[in-house]
């Protein structure tokens, strides 16, 4: 079976779930380009983790401006010539905004979003990665990014719940929900091959992939 029907794939999920690693691996496997959110380029992000209330709005606006620019450039180019695998869905920006901004800031953010966010093409497939909170926290700590060390389990739990609510209602593209608790796509080729097989066999608009321990 072929994966040619998937010209535009988005990998999404909460912080630490492994979406960027899987994005790179899928792009290599498919001979596709990558479209990455590059969180490390956001100068406000380290300050957000230290003082969330003070830096939430500039952090969110920087992400929005950058993602909108990337999608605009993608749409203006030879759209998905080699296929594209991305580690962000711009729709999820509103998820972080609701979680991190107060009411007045969120109202302002909505106005900026409405003016700025491009009409991005719907993905051919969204892969939504899930993991237990303790696994997310362990992965965040293991990757050793200094400013993430202050992240606590409570924030990750609220974020993971927000993702669950978002994708419970999501119907803009076919959705493959993947429980990664017992899967390691970056380090186990057999797990990655299982994912490719599930992608090839996917027929419905919403399917779930879970591997027992």
Q: Judge whether 192 lies within some domain.
A: yes
Please say if the pLDDT value at position 25 is more than 90.
yes
Q: Judge whether 3 lies within some domain.
A: no
H/E stretch holding 27 reads helix 19-30
The one-character DSSP state at 156 is: H
User: Where is pLDDT greater, at 108 or 90?
Assistant: 108
- Residues of the chain above pLDDT 90, percent: 63
Q: How confident is the model at residue 79 (pLDDT cuts 50, 70, 90)?
A: low
Q: How far apart are CA 174 and CA 202, in angstroms?
A: 9
Q: Judge whether 17 lies within some domain.
A: yes
Q: How far apart are CA 52 and CA 75, in angstroms?
A: 33
- Tell me the torsion sign for CA atoms 49, 55, 56, 59: negative
Q: Judge whether 52 lies within some domain.
A: yes
Q: Judge whether 1 lies within some domain.
A: no
Check which CATH number belongs to the domain holding 54 and give it: 3.40.50.300
pLDDT one-digit tens code per residue, 131-148 = 999 999 888 888 878 778
Average pLDDT (180-209) is: 92
Average pLDDT (164-183) is: 94
Q: Judge whether 84 lies within some domain.
A: yes
Burial class of residue 212 in the structure, from the number of CB atoms within 10 Å of its CB (0-12 exposed, 13-18 middle, 19+ buried): exposed
Q: What is the pTM of this model?
A: 0.92
Q: Judge whether 2 lies within some domain.
A: no
pLDDT one-digit tens code per residue, 119-135 = 677 899 999 999 999 99
pLDDT at 164: 95
Range of the domain at 173: 8-210
Give how many domains the chain has, as a whole number.
1
């Amino acid at each position: 079976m072929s994966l040619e029907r998937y010209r535009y794939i988005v990998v999404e999920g909460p912080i630490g779930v492994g979406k960027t690693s899987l994005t790179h691996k899928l792009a290599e496997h498919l001979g596709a380009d990558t479209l990455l959110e590059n969180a490390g380029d956001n100068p406000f992000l380290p300050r957000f983790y230290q003082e969330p209330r003070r830096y939430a709005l500039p952090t969110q606006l920087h992400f929005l401006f950058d993602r909108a620019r990337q999608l605009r450039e993608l749409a203006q180019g030879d759209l998905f010539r080699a296929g594209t695998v991305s580690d962000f869905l711009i729709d999820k920006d509103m998820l972080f905004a609701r979680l991190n901004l107060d009411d007045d800031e969120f109202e302002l953010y909505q106005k900026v979003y409405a003016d700025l966010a491009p009409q991005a093409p719907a993905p051919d497939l969204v892969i939504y990665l899930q993991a237990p909170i303790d696994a997310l926290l362990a992965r965040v700590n293991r990757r050793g990014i200094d400013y993430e060390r202050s992240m606590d389990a409570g924030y990750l739990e609220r974020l993971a719940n927000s993702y669950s609510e978002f994708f419970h209602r999501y119907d803009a593209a076919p959705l493959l929900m993947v429980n990664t608790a017992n899967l390691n796509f970056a380090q186990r080729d057999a797990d990655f091959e299982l994912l490719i097989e599930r992608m090839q066999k996917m027929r419905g608009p919403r399917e779930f992939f879970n591997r027992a321990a």
